[in-house]
């Protein structure tokens, strides 16, 4: 029977690839040596040890020595030394013939996260989205009637609207704003819409409060928002929520694009899976809080 902390630790290693996130975060800072170098500079035993951790994370019920060796392409002798080392350092435990991860990885991640903000943690996931879709990727939080951009990965393609961290936009007519509003109770949504005094930025902008509230109910049901030309003609944007461990919507991430590049159907098909995958990874930040 696994304790909950062990399950969370294993899930965290498997889903977010801790070392990828750490190294990606480190890559944002100037440094005196590259993360990667010639093969002679790499420590093969560490690489093999990380492979063992990864394979154990994929099997919460644990693996035997033989199973570990097979799944990591190691010899039984090599796998045995690595497993016993992990047990000795407290990163794994032995239960009969099976080896399992322990919550020590979770404690180490807690230590690391004390010096890392949510948005530092989110940047590698957002960078992956931006690179994969060849568009920008942004994150925002709700500030009364507006969204405030808190993180952004610029894209190679240029959109007419200048966006940067700190930019404020109306929530009622933006994809991230609608995702954030949809995460609120109905009465609170209605109050914010009323205070927003919706105005038509373009002929496509929805301004009727009842219509906006109906849209927000759809967004809540669907788990995403696609806004087409309501903030600016020719600008389409898709957003998904970021939720904390209680299920509360605390932020949103989006990808904007020009209507000449992608149809709404293409955006839903291609952008939505990438954004949801990123959101899932970002939400793991709250697992260890």
pLDDT tens digit string along 2-13?
A: 444 444 444 444
Residue 113: predicted pLDDT: 58
Numbered ranges of CATH 1.10.10.10 in the chain: 4-113
Mean pLDDT, rounded, for 180-191: 95
Confidence (pTM): 0.66
Mean pLDDT, rounded, for 213-236: 95
**Are 149 and 167 in contact, with CB atoms under 8 Å apart?**
yes
Residue 110: predicted pLDDT: 66
Q: In which band, very low, low, confident or very high, does the pLDDT at 288 lie, cut at 50, 70 and 90?
A: low
Residue 121: predicted pLDDT: 83
Higher pLDDT, 175 or 21: 175
Higher pLDDT, 165 or 115: 165
Nearest to 23, CA basis, from 32, 36, 13, 11: 36
Q: Is the pLDDT of residue 109 over 80?
A: no
Residue 35: predicted pLDDT: 46
Residue 245: predicted pLDDT: 86
State the burial class of residue 129 (Cβ atoms within 10 Å of its Cβ: 0-12, 13-18, 19+).
buried
Query: What average pLDDT is seen over the chain?
Result: 84
Residue 108: predicted pLDDT: 72
**Are 181 and 192 in contact, with CB atoms under 8 Å apart?**
yes
Q: In which band, very low, low, confident or very high, does the pLDDT at 104 lie, cut at 50, 70 and 90?
A: confident
Q: Is the pLDDT of residue 127 over 90?
A: yes
Of 38-47, 112-121, 245-254, the range with the highest mean pLDDT is 245-254
Q: In which band, very low, low, confident or very high, does the pLDDT at 96 lie, cut at 50, 70 and 90?
A: very high
Numbered ranges of CATH 3.30.450.40 in the chain: 118-288
Q: List CB contacts of 104: < 8 A, sequence separation 6 or more.
A: 9, 89, 90, 91
Mean pLDDT, rounded, for 158-179: 86
CATH class of 4-113: mainly alpha
Residue 41: predicted pLDDT: 75
Percent of the chain with pLDDT over 70: 81
Residue 34: predicted pLDDT: 47
Give the HSE-up count for residue 213: Cα atoms under 13 Å, Cβ half-sphere: 13
Q: Is the pLDDT of residue 136 over 90?
A: yes
Token pair for 165: 């961290």
Sheet holding 92-95, edge to edge: 63-64, 98-101, 92-95
Look up the CATH superfamily of 118-288: GAF domain (3.30.450.40)
Q: Is the pLDDT of residue 19 over 60?
A: no
Mean pLDDT, rounded, for 263-270: 93
Mean pLDDT, rounded, for 70-94: 94
């Amino acid at each position: 029977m696994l304790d909950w902390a062990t399950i969370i630790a294993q899930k965290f290693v498997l889903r977010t690839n801790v070392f990828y996130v750490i190294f990606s975060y480190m890559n944002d800072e100037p440094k005196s040596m590259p993360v990667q170098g010639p093969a002679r500079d790499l420590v093969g035993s560490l690489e093999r040890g990380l492979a063992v951790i990864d394979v154990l994370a994929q099997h919460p019920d644990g693996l035997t020595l033989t199973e570990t060796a097979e799944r990591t392409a190691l010899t039984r002798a090599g796998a045995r030394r690595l497993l016993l080392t992990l047990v000795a350092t407290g990163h794994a435990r032995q239960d009969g013939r099976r080896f399992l991860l322990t919550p020590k990885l979770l404690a180490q991640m807690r230590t690391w996260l004390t010096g890392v903000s949510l948005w530092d943690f989110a940047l590698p996931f957002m960078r992956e989205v931006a690179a994969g879709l060849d568009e920008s990727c942004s994150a925002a939080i709700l500030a009364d009637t507006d969204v405030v951009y808190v993180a952004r990965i610029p894209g190679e393609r240029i959109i007419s609207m200048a966006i940067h961290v700190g930019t404020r936009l109306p929530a009622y007519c933006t994809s991230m704003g609608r995702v954030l509003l949809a995460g609120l109770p109905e009465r609170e949504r209605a109050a914010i819409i009323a205070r927003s005094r919706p105005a038509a930025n373009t002929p496509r902008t929805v301004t009727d409060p009842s219509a906006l509230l109906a849209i927000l109910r759809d967004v809540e049901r669907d788990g995403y928002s696609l806004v087409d030309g309501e903030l600016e003609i020719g600008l389409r944007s898709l957003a998904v929520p970021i939720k904390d461990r209680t299920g509360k919507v605390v932020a949103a991430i989006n990808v904007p694009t020009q209507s000449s590049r992608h149809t709404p159907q293409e955006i839903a098909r291609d952008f939505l899976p990438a954004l949801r995958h990123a959101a899932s990874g970002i939400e793991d930040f709250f697992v260890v809080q």
